Amino acid sequence: MLFPDEAGFLRWQRETITPARLVAIGLAEPRTGAPGERWSYSNTNYILAGMIIQKVTGHSWAREVHDRILAPLHLTQTYVPGDDPTLRNPHAEGYQQFAPGGPLVDTTMFNPTAAGAAGAMVSTPADLARFWQALQSGRLLAPAQMAQLEHTVPAPGLADPFPGARYGLGIMWIDDSCGGYWSHAGDVPGMSTLNAVSPDGKRVVVLSLTTELADPQSELAVYRRAHQLIDDTFCS
């Protein structure tokens, strides 16, 4: 684990970490279960996907994402910063609490190679909304690929705070008061986003959070409130 505490974060804050090292860190953790036994989210899987893209195409995952998604959709505020730990202005500032009751640590300065293909991108709520609209309206994937993407399995570990959570290939289905929506939450230290898009892509909500708490119950309360806020907005 790279960031078990504030000292760990400060140690790696500016360091460049290779995909191979990220995979090694992931494989050093205990297994969550036997293959096929149950669903479990894994950033390491995304790192491996990025390495496969490099092997198959001869290009980095960042270039493929730019050429296939960002450029065609004109998502000009979304980019892969490489190993640059700074953000383009203007930007939000992130704060992470590493111990319950502890101080909030400014985590805005962060080398995103620690996230790799699992999340080393910078974006805005507006660009995220346009991406979700394009995905769900069929502009990015063929119908057969969308069917694969949306083939889900139960994700009971996410049921609180996300009722009825089911995971597909990188996106999840969440129930709400007007039926449900597709989503994918994501975070790096101090910053996270929650998203909701209708199956037809006509309704989108993107919520950006810039503080993460250490106490599990406090953090759970934040995500419950965030889900309710999305529900209120999405279903109004």
Q: Using the structure block, give the residue that is written with the tokens 């004109």.
A: 74
Tens place of pLDDT for every residue, the chain, 236 residues?
678 899 999 999 999 999 999 999 999 999 988 988 888 999 999 999 999 999 999 999 999 999 999 999 999 999 999 999 999 999 999 999 999 999 999 999 999 999 999 999 999 999 999 999 999 999 999 999 999 999 999 999 898 899 899 999 999 999 999 999 999 998 999 999 999 999 999 999 999 999 999 999 999 999 999 999 999 999 98
Are 136 and 200 spatial neighbours (Cβ–Cβ below 8 Å)? yes
Distance CA 66, CA 82 (A): 13
Distance of CA 180 to the CA centre of its chain: 19
With 0.85 as the threshold, say if the pTM is over it: yes
Range 131-140 burial, b when 16+ CB lie within 10 A, else e? bbbbbbeeeb
Domains and CATH numbers, the chain: 6-87+94-234 (3.40.710.10)
The residues, any chain, with a CB within 8 Å of residue 104's CB and separated by 6 or more, are: 95, 96, 97, 211
CA–CA gap between residue 198 and residue 182 (Å, rounded) = 6
Task: List pLDDT tens digits, range 153-180.
Answer: 999 989 889 989 999 999 999 999 999 9
**Radius of gyration, CA atoms only, the chain:** 18
Phi/psi at 230 (nearest 5 deg)?
A: -60, -45
